[in-house]
Structure 1
Amino acid sequence: LKLSSFQLILQKTIMGLSDKVLIFPYETDFSYVALIPQKEMALRAFTLCMRVATELPEERQIILFAYRTPDYDELNVGDGAFFHLPPLGTFRTSLCLSWESRTGLAAFWYEGKRSTYQVYKPGHTIRPKGTAQQSFVGELTDLNMWDYVLSRSMIQAWHYRHKIPKGNIFDWATVSYDLSGNVMVVDDD
């Protein structure tokens, strides 16, 4: 009983990552960041954007973001539809993924440029009451998520760090999160 209480204290929720970078220094199955959505994630559309850098081998599959409900793996960015993207590398890359349920159209945005569209789970709704987790080796910053598809001009503005509406699911500056394992939060310089 005491151990459980002690663990609860250590897993205190922290808020806001403005001007911060998450560093995942080692490949583990226990290091991740759980993000707490600002509103229920019953999504029929979304745009997820982040800046990442990694030195993992190009041929290795990387799941940058996962959203799980207690019974089901709802969304894995990096799983399902297969996009042929340029490799992620040592230097920070801006990535966005947009999807909308009605048509199932999904697209990746790499450095402000859109991939070809693919159809992924048309008619699907991403169920609420899950947790969002991110587990890979490298750096991550500026993760934002909206419950709608951003326009081309908005995604390009985000890529160039212009001001756009803050993410209404996850906003990097104000997001609540729990760290688990070997994850470091450092100043973004």
Structure 2
Amino acid sequence: MKQLVLLAALCAGHASGKDLSEKVFTFPVESATSSVKLIANVAQPLTVLTMCMRFFSSLTRAQSLFSLDIPSQSNAFLLFKPSVDVYRLHINGAALDISGLPDETNEWNSVCWTWDSTSGLTALWVNGKRSPRAIMGASVSLSGVPSIILGQDQDSYGGGFDQSQSFVGDITDVHMWDKVISPCEIRFYMDGSAFTPGNLLSWNNLRFSTTGTVHEEQSDFNKSCF
């Protein structure tokens, strides 16, 4: 029996994903249930991360963009937007507000977030502009199977959703790496140019499941539009 469980886990770990190039996840309504669960290729504790994504929303209230929890810690790696022009970074429960970056309502926003626990240095890029580097999560190691959710803030591992913090709009091009990618790679991503896809999460080969009112639609963010 144990061998069958192990075999199933190994097969799931190597299951192929879906190419979502030119696609978006659309969250059309406020909801306490609508979400997308992402399955990352994680084989060791997370100590260095870069996450990039694009989103389009008309909301001015608080909303969750990217939520990664581990069994022992909620808000382990959470990108939250408390209001227009403000982004809130959470690492291992600690929080930092970032403001002063170009932030658009009813337009596509391209976001990349880097973090290295060795130094604790973290930075947020929005629409080609970088925040000042800050220190968060120095010497922190995120251990255990991560629960990664788009569209909701996890107040508990894999759940605890709050409709008033739910995302409404479109999300696309989600990638995550187990390293701090270079500023050039970030700019390539921001511009819609060719870049190296994420090795933990790749929009070009994404394993995911949807719950509630979430739709796959054609993207209108395309480099040919520039």
TM normalised by structure 1 equals 0.86
Identify the residue that residue 107 of structure 1 maps to in structure 2: 123
Cross-structure match for 1:126: 142
The alignment's TM-score, normalised by the length of structure 2, stands at 0.73
**Unpaired segments of 5 or more residues in structure 1?**
1-12
Indicate the residue corresponding to 2:132 in structure 1: 116
What corresponds to 2:51 in structure 1? 48
Residue of structure 1 aligned with 2:112, choices 88, 93, 96: 96
The Cα offsets for residues 63-114 of structure 1, whole Å up to 9 and x where unpaired, read as 2111122342122112411111443411101111111101111111011211
Pair 41,185 (structure 1): closer, same or farther in 2 beyond 3 Å = farther
Q: 1:81 aligns with which of 79, 82, 96?
A: 96
AA in 2 matched with 1:148: K
Structure 2 match to 1:144: 175
Identify unmatched segments of 5+ residues in structure 2: 1-15, 81-89, 152-166, 221-226
Match of 2:37 among 24, 34, 37: 34
How far off is 1:140 after superposition?
0.5
Distance, in Å, in 2 between the alignment partners of 1:174 and 1:45 is: 21
Distance 1:140 1:185, change over 3 A: same
Moved over 6 A (4+): none
- Backbone CA RMSD of aligned residues: 1.7
Q: Secondary structure at the match of 1:83?
A: strand
SS in 1 for 2:96: coil
Distance 2:118 2:98 in 1: 20
Identity rate, percent? 30
Distance in 2, matches of 1:41 and 1:113, equals 31
Taking CA–CA contacts closer than 8 Å with sequence separation of 6 or more, which of the two structures ends up with the larger relative contact order?
Answer: 1
**Mapped partners of 2:116, 2:71: distance in 1:** 23
Among 164, 170, 177, the residue aligned to 2:201: 170
The answer to whether the 8 A contact 1:144-1:171 is kept is yes
Whether contact under 8 Å (1:41, 1:129) holds in the other structure is: no
Instruction: Choose 174-183 or 125-134, whichever is displaced more.
Output: 125-134
